[in-house]
Amino acid sequence: MTAVETLQPAIIYLGAGLAAALAARAARLSPIVGYLAAGLVIGPSGFSLVQNNDTARFLADLGVVFLLFDIGLHFSLREIALRRHDMISLAPLQIILCGLVFALVGYAFGFPWPVAVLVGASLALSSTAVVARILSDRNQPGCPMGRSATAVLVAQDVVAIFILTYAASFGVSTNLLGMEALVILAKAVVALTVAILAGRFLVRPLFESLAATNNRETFTVVALFIVLAASAATANAGLSLNLGAFLAGMALSDTPYRNVVQAEVKPFAGLLLGLFFVSVGMGVNLPTLALIWPAVLATALVIMIVKTIVVFVAARLNGWAIPGATQLAFLLSQGSEFTLVVVGIASIAGAMPAPWAGILTTSVALTLIAAPIWTSLGLHIAKQIAETTKGAAVDTDEVAEEHPVLIFGMTPAGRLAADALRDHDIAYVAVDSDPDRFVLAASDGYSIAFGDARDDKLMTSLDAGHARAIVLGIRGLGAAGLAALPGSTQPRLVVAADIAEQAKLNSAGFRAHISRAEPLGLELAADLLAQMGLGHEKISAWIADQVERRGLIDRPREQAPEAA
């Protein structure tokens, strides 16, 4: 084979991928959908411009490798500690329940039971790329619903590592479960331990040395070397390339060099992952699917409905209110990129009854397309449910017993204060009299009651005089009257519009802050944590986490104005 014949598939892949990405962006669809469509066009079902040769398969494999490396970069021991409840309780419950339901359905349709378990577990996962985009578009990554969704996705990504490791080891025999699966798990645990130790004693000193040279290009070279070397090591140990890439990312996740490495590697990851989805699209047999399109639509609908119901149940069992659980359930209801990876493996697809591999691939793609619409429906339902709870009374006995922080007005500053308290397990109660803010906050998962802080009866029932602190999320001097609590000595915090207003509020007994940083109200939230007794290191770490989260997500610049 000549060099031109070797490069031709890569050239066609790149051209098709570029066209697909531009078309998907213009149509406001997920790029994944565009890549799948490009594969259909250039593959055997379309114009047969390229076949799945060794070059194509190698590029596709590298795409998954770099995806897992990027996931590993966001998975650190600190992240586990911050999101421990969602990652240890909510996520496992959701994965187990969804996986069990889908495995039973697959077995009922003739899947060998190891394949049914594998495919069922992959269908329990959601699309990290799609959910992150939806949260970004709606400016929701910082609310409880968005943060819990992110934690669940991280936990799912970790599970996906083992699913892909298992799938990659799945040969012609369908009897892999049992002792061989335990051996794989033991090897993975050993590899995880090695990665943690390597990150502390090898990777960090190495990058410190590189930083001293002030040569940015060396970061790219070393990062690529670490990814490929770790992938090769786990593959030689009988595991998968993907596990090694994940562990390489995890080794870097707790170092100060994570962000620069991610920035250097991101172009490779995005390009190669797009080529993987192109190759998946090439494997779809359109003539066959044209005969069974009702099964494709039915399967996509079943996936989304089952996952919506199961995630809702899991959220409710974890103490979520109905509005927040509803929106979370609709948000996580689509299929996952990992299902496409699993079904795209020849040994897995060959073990399924025909034509289920094509049905599942196309159905999951449809769920990715429908995800924004389905999520909008969930938000509408959550708002309707929250609307009906306006008249619900506050549990005053519980409030009086805990003496929580009271937050009046769930503006962006009020929300950030609630996030700060929630992250550090400090009890709070939010109160808002604005119908729109109340409904949005309730549907986003915040603990909130409908009421007016100027209502003396409400303030008495909340025992506001003994609250640990009072936060006024409503900006302006008009807020001063909302906390007129004679004899109260707790800190009262508010955001001021300018220096003059800050001086007047401070003289009135407030701790007023002018918000100069993003996100809005960051200074107030940091001061609130200090008033709650947190040390400087913990507060600094929390601030860094907020800034990093918003820096990694392409947020819309428009912000809803706060009520005066």
Secondary structure of 122-141 in the HEC alphabet?
A: HHCCCCHHHHHHHHHHCCCC
- At residue 460, does pLDDT exceed 50? yes
Domains of the chain: 3-385 (1.20.1530.20), 396-552 (3.40.50.720)
pLDDT of residue 209: 80
pTM (predicted TM-score): 0.72
Mean pLDDT for 327-341 is: 89
If you search the block for the tokens 């089952």, which residue do you land on? 306
- At residue 561, does pLDDT exceed 50? no
Contact in structure between 196 and 72 (CB atoms under 8 Å) = no
Task: Give me the torsion for CA of 313, 319, 321, 323, rounded to 10°.
Answer: -40
Number of CB atoms found within 10 A of residue 334's CB: 28
Q: How confident is the model at residue 554 (pLDDT cuts 50, 70, 90)?
A: very low
238: left (phi over 0), alpha (psi -120 to 50) or beta: left
Of 236, 266, 235, nearest to 249 (Cα)? 266
pLDDT of residue 50: 72
% residues pLDDT > 70 (the chain): 83
Tokens representing 197 are 């130790």
Average pLDDT in the chain: 79
pLDDT of residue 53: 61
Tell me the CB-side half-sphere exposure of residue 332, using CA atoms within 13 A.
Answer: 35
Phi and psi, residue 467, nearest 5°: -65, 150
Q: What is the C-alpha to C-alpha distance for residues 234 and 384, in angstroms, rounded to an integer?
A: 50
Query: Is the pLDDT higher at 106 or at 76?
Result: 106
192, 420, 521, 548, 550 from 514: Cα distances, Å: 45, 18, 8, 21, 20
Q: What is the C-alpha to C-alpha distance for residues 147 and 507, in angstroms, rounded to an integer?
A: 37
Read off the amino acid at residue 4. V
315, 321, 390, 437, 463 from 395: Cα distances, Å: 21, 14, 14, 20, 12
pLDDT of residue 390: 66
8-state DSSP, 462: T
Q: Poorest-confidence range of 88-102, 268-282, 522-536?
A: 268-282
Q: How confident is the model at residue 497 (pLDDT cuts 50, 70, 90)?
A: confident
Tell me the CB-side half-sphere exposure of residue 249, using CA atoms within 13 A.
Answer: 26
Mean pLDDT for 355-368 is: 85
Which of 66-70, 209-213, 272-276, 354-358 shows the highest mean pLDDT?
354-358
Query: Is the pLDDT higher at 458 or at 227?
Result: 227
Mean pLDDT for 15-28 is: 82
Task: Give me the torsion for CA of 564, 547, 328, 446, rounded to 10°.
Answer: -40
Query: Is the pLDDT higher at 477 or at 276?
Result: 276
Q: Poorest-confidence range of 44-53, 413-422, 472-481?
A: 472-481
| pLDDT tens per residue, range 254-296 | 777 777 777 777 777 777 777 777 877 776 667 767 778 888 8
Which of 53-62, 282-291, 345-354 shows the highest mean pLDDT?
345-354
Q: How confident is the model at residue 515 (pLDDT cuts 50, 70, 90)?
A: confident
pLDDT of residue 58: 76
